[in-house]
Amino acid sequence: MKKPSISTIIVIICLLIIGLYAMGEVNYFSSKIVSEKNIESPKIIIPSIGVEEKINNESLNQGVLSDPGKNIPTHDPIILYGHRTLQGSPFLRLNELSVGDTFLIEWPGVGELNYSVVNTTIVPATYELNAQGANTTYLITCDPIGSTENRLIIQGEVNDLNPVDEKIIKNNPQESNALIISAIFLVIGLIFSFFYPEENRIYILATVLIISAVLFYCCINPIPSELIYDKIIFLNGGL
């Protein structure tokens, strides 16, 4: 068998890096399904930007984080953090919200709260938010995309309160994302391998198949995604 060329080694390294990012996302979605299944928890819904996420009070790496977790809407201000990129990117399009837009929070024991956006601002990462108002919720993410330099803050005020839908969300709307990511990597990798120069094709094909096998394994037996991202976050320099 002919030794891999320098260009093939570079391609393999690139595939491994892409595979690591894919593995981080696969583990994020797979772990999220396991941790949220049959658990009744608050939920944020922003239809205009495709957000339908459970709220947790444990880790930003599990999706949308309420910090401090003990705060309850209509009693305390609520601060919700979400990643802009990677880890499911729940707040990827948060910048599209503007004053007058609305979002919902379903909070067991409180109700379905309808919020209107009253302010949007971008501040340095060192900014200390002085959260005030029992009817106020702040949505916070990094800005710009791929950087931790600034924070985008969306402030919403309650304009309506209705009884909450008590049905537990048993099926996460992102339930199939881990399998989709794994399948996309495999299909694109196989196509790329097919068109790669024949003398080094076997190396690319083997790399694609090994990474794909790991991805599909992680769909079934996920590990905490932060274990991966803590090692590769320097590659994109932010959240």
pLDDT, averaged across the chain? 85
Pairwise pLDDT comparison (171 vs 2), residue with the higher score: 2
pLDDT at 201 (0 to 100) = 92
Whole-number pLDDT of residue 172: 54
Predicted confidence at residue 63, as pLDDT, reads: 83
CA atoms of 225 and 204, how far apart (whole Å): 26
What is the model's pLDDT at position 15? 94
CB neighbours (10 Å) of residue 145? 16
Listed in sequence order, the residues at least 6 apart from 221 whose beta carbon sits closer than 8 Å to its beta carbon are: none
- Digit-coded pLDDT (tens) for 76-126: 999 999 988 877 888 999 999 999 999 999 888 888 899 999 999 999 989
**128-144: pLDDT as tens digits:** 888 888 899 999 999 88
CA dist 61 to 56, 86, 154, 204, 214, Å? 10, 9, 20, 32, 21
Residue 168 pLDDT level (bands cut at 50, 70, 90): very low
The answer to whether residues 84 and 142 touch, using CB atoms and an 8 Å cutoff, is yes
Each residue of 21-53: pLDDT tens digit?
A: 898 888 888 876 655 554 567 889 998 998 888
